[in-house]
Structure 1
Amino acid sequence: MYKTIGVLAHVDAGKTTFCEQLLYEMSSIKKRGRVDHKDAFLDHHDIERARGITIFAEQGRFEFKGDTYTLIDTPGHVDFSPEMERAIRVMDAAIIIVSAVDGIEGHTETVWRLLRDNNVPTFFFINKNDREGAIVEAVVQQLQKEFSSELIHFDHDMDLMKEWLAERDEPIMKQYFDGTLTDELSWRYLAEKVLNNEAFLSMTGSALKNVGVVEFFEVVAQLTVSKAKMNEPFRGIVFKIRHDEHHRLTFIKALAGTLHVRQELSFGETSEKVTEIRLYNGQQFTSVQQVEAGDVFAVKGLSQPSIGEMIGQQFPTAKPYELIPTLQAKVIVNGTIPMKEVTRIFRLLESEEPSLKVVWREQFQEISVHVMGVIQLEVLVEIMRERFGIEVSFGKPQILYMETIRNAVIGYGHFEPLKHYAEVHLKMEPNERGKGITFNNACHTDNLLVGHQRLIEKHLFERKHHGLLTGFPITDIHFTLLTGRAHVEHTSGGDFREASFRAIRQGLEQAENIVLEPYYKFKMKANLEHIGRMMSDIQQASGTFDAPILHEESVTIVGRVPVSTFMDYTTQFASYTNGKGMLSLQFDQYDVCHNMEQVILEINYQKDADPDYSSSSIFCAKGKGYSVSWQDAKAAMHCPVVE
């Protein structure tokens, strides 16, 4: 059986050290590496070793009691958390490393939430129990209070486990009292609860001194079940893309069936053949002829699938990732290398890190990228230098805004230069916050062929559409196709794209537009003496918060605040709490911008000067096309107007 175990933690909790010890004890590596010695097996990139942090999710591979395990070491720094989230999608179980000295830290909460959202069975290794200030009992209580009351701290006391199970299940209680609840049954019952996220188990030890690591993993292995389906057609999920010299490597978790070398895989209307299958252990790999359900591997020969894409039949659409960048930064090239070549390289990096969202602005000959934070920018500078020999820097990171509408409107678009023809009527309504762009079709086939209707829907989703106030993308709008028209001779490729885009823009011209900005959900905990400073800072940052939760010596405040006013607050908070406070920041959707007028003024977007967009329609008379402004477009439409 193949099982995939992920190891996750807040930075510096001991995650990579834990992985090193486990791989060594399982005879997967011959020498233990250390982060501080810059020779960790899974942190094999020069940038990772120089910085002493995990940046890329890498996997180790070993055999244990007849099963094959893939161990994924994930980044612990928030700037590289999208890489961690993508790895979560392929885990059969997760191990969260928590420091016995520091307890739950900011990023630990994000990790826990993502694991729950993806229903990944979760175990806790309470690390550093040999350090001064370590209080394992306090950390267990914190985990039970903050994360789940269904957490059991296992210290090899089977009687305690049986009591815990009996308290939660009447049939088990009956077996407990009549003496038929054996150790074997207890493990089976606990495994079921772990699989169903009804139980979470913790143990303690010291990864650095290799205390309790193997014993902990033995328990994890016993309680982890693979969900892979053997006797079905091949299905898999792409979770990572890398480039090996001139070849693209597509990393896949097989969820069902078997995959062979030379097997052809279909992607829409195209298909590609797998030319090589690799099993990776760190940088080392073995080429094999086939892989089975549950295994994690890399293939050559595929250029179509992107990260997060499902391969195979009968798959639901993958849900979007939660951790998205809220900043963008302009790329500054130090040298004479053509910008098109720099763009090509950034596109390659984007295939490996989809959250980069590379934007090329032709009219300004300018590249910008989306990022999580300044550390990611520093790493990108090093990657461009060491991997591609290009010196770049970045402008100051700016907030990624979005736009939406407050009221319902109907947008009209007509495109009819000579020998072209298309008309589109789109109803646009505000969507609930965070729902994004959605679509409904109310157009009758008497008015427009099904193929043309599908074209319009495709064009709505094929790119981001600029808003009128800032030029940032629109979101949270529900589109309904009301009607449209084609010409039997003159409608050709691209006509409905033009008409659809003009209808969107014409609708925005009529609507009340608003700017949205990203928000954090925050949780702050510090000594009671800091409560006044904490509340004052939140208010000055245009944030809101619930009633403070007072403890014996500390206070916890939970609330919501704009990213723009709080993205640099971590340093201040650590300073005035002397590093003893806890601050957790989680992206919490977009909402109305707190300083909209100021943002609009600073960005100074000129909606009529955007070369990619026009709110005017094009009509034709006497063999010549002419433009009709958005104000007059409705009256000029050929289709009957539906109010």
Structure 2
Amino acid sequence: MSKITIGMFAHVDAGKTTFAEQLLYYTNSIRERGRVDHKDAYLDAHTIEKARGITIFADQAVMSYKGTTYYLIDTPGHVDFSPEMERAVRVMDYAILIISAVEGIQGHTETVWQLLHKHNVPTFFFINKTDRTGADADRVIEDIRLHLTADVCPLTGSLKDGVVGEALMESMAERDEHLLDQFIAGTRDHAYWLSSLQAMIRSRRLFPCASGSALQDVGVSEFLDQLHTATTVDYDEQAPFGGRIYKIRHDSNGVRMTFIKALSGTLKVRDELCYPANEVQLCEKVTRLLIVNGNKSQPVEQVTAGDLFAVTGLTAAEAGQGLGLFSDRLVYEMVPTLKSKVIFDNQLNVKEVLKAFRILDAEDPSLNVVWEESLQEIHIHVMGVIQLEVLEQIVRDRFRLDVSFGNPEILYKETIQSAVNGYGHFEPLKHYAEVHLRLEPGERGSGMEFMNACHANDLTIGHQNLIRTHLFERDHHGILTGMPVTDIKVTLLTGAAHNEHTHGGDFREATFRALRQGLEKARNVLLEPYYHFKIKVELDDMGRVLSDIQKASGRFEPPQTTDTHAVITGQVPVATFMNYSTELASFTHGRGSIQLVFGGYDLCHNEQEVIERKGYRKDADPLYTSSSIFCAKGHGYTVAWDEAEAKMHLL
């Protein structure tokens, strides 16, 4: 029996959850169709989802159709919950992208499309709400051709009972020379054309498109049959086990559940799974295996390639991580650009609050929960205000804690624009470590890179590895605002230890001091997050938009225009544009559309203003100092960064 994972995607209010309800009904997975507005949808079962009428969590359902098991993942449609969606994308065999026949392609639609393209997920389009006033499926197909892919292909009347119709054959032949020869030669072997269609969809050379109304039950059963006919998978159950984690959750008793897609082999209860965690290889036994369907779960003894399931017994595995044959990790495309402080009554135990947020951090690593020891504050990273509102309710419902959040602030970063050497020495009485680093500017978006030019004769391999570990164990504060340092290439030049006096933590101290001392000498610059934007407006509104972009310190490409509309693309700081969608909707009377996607970090447009506002005192950071400690006559003494280099033992 084939097992196929299907992902459901859409902009908010395109009818995705209603469409999913119809699929579940037609496969006898549910007895009655639910509706979002009636708050009884099978997949939007969480209290928060029912209250808000939107999908927040990537939940799954299981359905069977004509001998095939389908795992259906309903993904969030709001941009604030994009990281949840992105984790789920990695385990999908196929995707269904639902677009409203009235509103057409919207900002989040294009974001989803780019994500599916990046991860090579074969995609079906369903144009929904064709029963509504103003619906125009043909116009939406043309927009798909223009803005998403020229390889969209209508399915209506072209694929039934395994028979590929002439119109579909012709569309396939237009995209493949061999198929063109077969079409001209009159080859009409149904099996041949069907297997060719399946191969073209799987390789993303063709994107089938159907239309109808999920609410009125028009076109959904036909689409289900076409989906079943046109999809195939090829998993190897005989290979060693390999899988990928797409979600972490905790049940009502606090038990950690790790949700996995099996990509190869077989996994049984009590089997051991090994994975990297905190720089070591951790091996743990699977204590339970569960097939999860909506809010129900069924224990099983084993799972095989293609299955979507949850396990208990893994204590430190992370969402986005590969297991077994797969050791890669997810590098997020959807990155939070805002930071917010957790506010709570001082009568609450801070350890309890932090524990709750550590659990949420395991479930959504993009939160990047940070405990600021010096401020006694908890900070989190978020996508937007809606996410904060939802988090507030989650913390109240799950942990019985009343919290709120400070106004979201932009997440700045720092880097250098000149190459320098940094030196750190740590030698209080009966301790010893010295580290020399070369700091060079890295490529934008590269993070921190490590290279090693230290010879084993100068410093043992163990100590060299320790220095590398300390460099990557946390974000390091820059000296302009205390924000994380990024896009730096760090080379270990040399170092020194003492046979008797070097203890645990000495190399951490020396490494941090060397990094900081180098930053003191370098030319430091502040970076801010940018959006890649795509704005579509009527020609009359183009001038206003271009002016707004310039005022927001953005850059734009020459607009693409038709007789009636203009499409403008470019880059703009998040800080100046995060609320622009509301402004655009106002002056275009809802006729303008905007897509905002995180476009990485670049030079801050108002660096000095931000530095002054942050008021960071580099000499008063309790976690970092650029000074070194030396020892003389049995006592340690501090040497300032600008004098320490001359006293280094290895120079």
Task: Report the TM range for the smaller structure's normalisation.
Answer: over 0.9
1:451 aligned residue (462, 487, 503):
462
Aligned residue for 1:378? Answer: 389
- How many pairs were matched up? 639
Q: Secondary structure of 1:573's match? A: helix
Q: Is the 8 A contact 1:408 1:511 kept in 2?
A: yes
Aligned residue for 1:300? Answer: 312
Please list every run of 5 or more consecutive structure 2 residues that lacks an aligned counterpart in the other structure.
159-164
CA displacement at 1:455 relative to structure 2: 1.2
Q: Is the 8 A contact 1:227 1:255 kept in 2?
A: no
- Deviations 1:586-605 (Å, cap 9, x if unpaired)? 00000000000000000000
Aligned residue for 2:592? Answer: 581
Aligned residue for 1:512? Answer: 523
- Deviations 1:474-533 (Å, cap 9, x if unpaired)? 000011111111122222222111111111101100001000000001111111111121
Task: Please tell me whether residue 259 in structure 1 is matched to residue 270 in structure 2.
Answer: no
- 1:550-589 equivalent positions in 2, closer than 5 A: 550-589=561-600
- Deviations 1:142-164 (Å, cap 9, x if unpaired)? 11111111121121231011111
Task: Please tell me whether residue 275 in structure 1 is matched to residue 287 in structure 2.
Answer: yes
Task: Please tell me whether residue 311 in structure 1 is matched to residue 323 in structure 2.
Answer: yes
Aligned residue for 1:246? Answer: 254
Task: Please tell me whether residue 29 in structure 1 is matched to residue 30 in structure 2.
Answer: yes
Structure 1: which amino acid aligns with 2:242? R
- Deviations 1:357-395 (Å, cap 9, x if unpaired)? 111112222111111100011111111112221111111
Q: Is the 8 A contact 2:321 2:327 kept in 1?
A: no
Task: Please tell me whether residue 110 in structure 1 is matched to residue 148 in structure 2.
Answer: no
CA displacement at 1:308 relative to structure 2: 1.0
| Mapped partners of 2:172, 2:181: distance in 1 | 11
Q: Is the 8 A contact 1:258 1:293 kept in 2?
A: yes
Aligned residue for 1:592? Answer: 603
1:234 aligned residue (219, 227, 241):
241
| Mapped partners of 1:259, 1:93: distance in 2 | 23
CA displacement at 1:6 relative to structure 2: 0.2
- Deviations 1:166-204 (Å, cap 9, x if unpaired)? 222222122112222323212211211221121111111
| Mapped partners of 2:228, 2:464: distance in 1 | 52
CA displacement at 1:221 relative to structure 2: 2.5
Q: Is the 8 A contact 1:92 1:227 kept in 2?
A: no
Structure 1: which amino acid aligns with 2:215? L
Residues 410 and 16 of structure 1, relative CA distance in 2, 3 Å threshold = same
| Mapped partners of 1:269, 1:141: distance in 2 | 51
Deviates most, 236-245 or 333-342: 333-342
CA displacement at 1:579 relative to structure 2: 1.1
CA displacement at 1:454 relative to structure 2: 1.2
Q: Secondary structure of 1:347's match? A: helix
| Mapped partners of 2:273, 2:74: distance in 1 | 29
Aligned residue for 1:218? Answer: 225
Q: Is the 8 A contact 1:162 1:181 kept in 2?
A: no
Aligned residue for 1:52? Answer: 53
Q: Is the 8 A contact 2:421 2:518 kept in 1?
A: yes
- Deviations 1:94-135 (Å, cap 9, x if unpaired)? 110011111110000110001111111111001111111111
CA displacement at 1:423 relative to structure 2: 1.2
Aligned residue for 2:431? Answer: 420
Where do 4+ consecutive residues of structure 1 move more than 6 Å?
none
Structure 2: which amino acid aligns with 1:87? A
Q: Is the 8 A contact 1:97 1:126 kept in 2?
A: yes
Q: TM-score, normalised by structure 2?
A: 0.96
Aligned residue for 1:6? Answer: 7
| Mapped partners of 1:452, 1:606: distance in 2 | 32
CA displacement at 1:414 relative to structure 2: 1.2
- Deviations 1:54-74 (Å, cap 9, x if unpaired)? 000100101122221100000
1:289 aligned residue (301, 315, 321):
301
| Mapped partners of 1:29, 1:596: distance in 2 | 56
Q: Is the 8 A contact 2:87 2:330 kept in 1?
A: no
| Mapped partners of 1:496, 1:181: distance in 2 | 72
Aligned residue for 1:359? Answer: 370
CA displacement at 1:307 relative to structure 2: 0.7
| Mapped partners of 1:371, 1:269: distance in 2 | 30
Aligned residue for 1:330? Answer: 341
Aligned residue for 2:443? Answer: 432
Aligned residue for 1:141? Answer: 142
Aligned residue for 1:481? Answer: 492
Aligned residue for 1:403? Answer: 414
- 1:187-226 equivalent positions in 2, closer than 5 A: 187-226=194-233
Deviates most, 484-493 or 494-503: 484-493
Task: Please tell me whether residue 626 in structure 1 is matched to residue 637 in structure 2.
Answer: yes
Aligned residue for 2:161? Answer: none
| Mapped partners of 2:342, 2:167: distance in 1 | 58
Residues 452 and 225 of structure 1, relative CA distance in 2, 3 Å threshold = farther
Q: Secondary structure of 1:148's match? A: coil
CA displacement at 1:319 relative to structure 2: 3.9
| Mapped partners of 2:86, 2:643: distance in 1 | 48
- 1:485-564 equivalent positions in 2, closer than 5 A: 485-564=496-575
CA displacement at 1:316 relative to structure 2: 4.5
| Mapped partners of 1:410, 1:228: distance in 2 | 51
CA displacement at 1:335 relative to structure 2: 5.9
Structure 2: which amino acid aligns with 1:7? M
Q: Secondary structure of 1:175's match? A: helix
Q: Secondary structure of 1:472's match? A: coil
Q: Secondary structure of 1:364's match? A: coil
CA displacement at 1:269 relative to structure 2: 3.8
Q: Secondary structure of 1:113's match? A: helix
Structure 2: which amino acid aligns with 1:159? E
Structure 1: which amino acid aligns with 2:547? S
Structure 2: which amino acid aligns with 1:396? N
Q: Is the 8 A contact 2:34 2:42 kept in 1?
A: yes
Aligned residue for 1:126? Answer: 127
Q: Is the 8 A contact 2:244 2:262 kept in 1?
A: yes
| Mapped partners of 1:9, 1:608: distance in 2 | 49
CA displacement at 1:227 relative to structure 2: 4.5
| Mapped partners of 2:122, 2:384: distance in 1 | 30
| Mapped partners of 1:170, 1:78: distance in 2 | 40
Q: Secondary structure of 1:363's match? A: coil
| Mapped partners of 1:514, 1:507: distance in 2 | 14
Structure 1: which amino acid aligns with 2:246? F
Q: Secondary structure of 1:483's match? A: strand
Q: Is the 8 A contact 1:92 1:121 kept in 2?
A: yes
| Mapped partners of 2:376, 2:234: distance in 1 | 49
| Mapped partners of 1:510, 1:56: distance in 2 | 47
| Mapped partners of 1:73, 1:139: distance in 2 | 23
Structure 2: which amino acid aligns with 1:542? S
